[in-house]
Amino acid sequence: MKYHPHGSVLFCTFSLEEGLLLLANPLCQAIVKTCLARACALYPVRISHIIVEATHIHLVLVVINPDHVEAFFRHFKTDSAHMINGLLGRNKRTVWCEGYDSPVVLTPKRALIAIAYLYANPAKDNLETSIDRYPGFSSWRMFQSGEHTRHWKRLRRPQFTTITRDANNLRGYTKRAEEILASSDEMQTFTLQPNAWMEAFGYHSAEQQQKINEHLIARVRLLEERAERKRVREKKRILGKDRLLSQVLDTTYRPRRKGRRMWCLSERRSVRVEFIRFFKALMHKARAVREKWKLGDVTVPYPPGLYPPSMPKLANALGR
Q: What is the pTM of this model?
A: 0.91
| CB proximity list for 211: less than 8 A, separation 6 or greater | none
The predicted-structure confidence for 241-283, as pLDDT tens digits, reads as follows 999 999 999 998 887 766 677 899 999 999 999 999 999 999 9
The domain limits of the chain are 9-267, 268-320
Q: Return the pLDDT at 292.
A: 87
Q: What is the DSSP string of 214-273?
A: HHHHHHHHHHHHHHHHHHHHHT-----HHHHHH---BS-----------SEE-S-HHHHH
Domain 9-267 CATH superfamily:
Transposase IS200-like (3.30.70.1290)
Q: Return the pLDDT at 290.
A: 87
Judge contact between 149 and 191, C-beta under 8 A. Answer: yes
Q: Binning pLDDT at 50, 70 and 90, where does residue 56 land? A: very high
| CB proximity list for 158: less than 8 A, separation 6 or greater | 86
Share of the chain above pLDDT 90, in %: 80
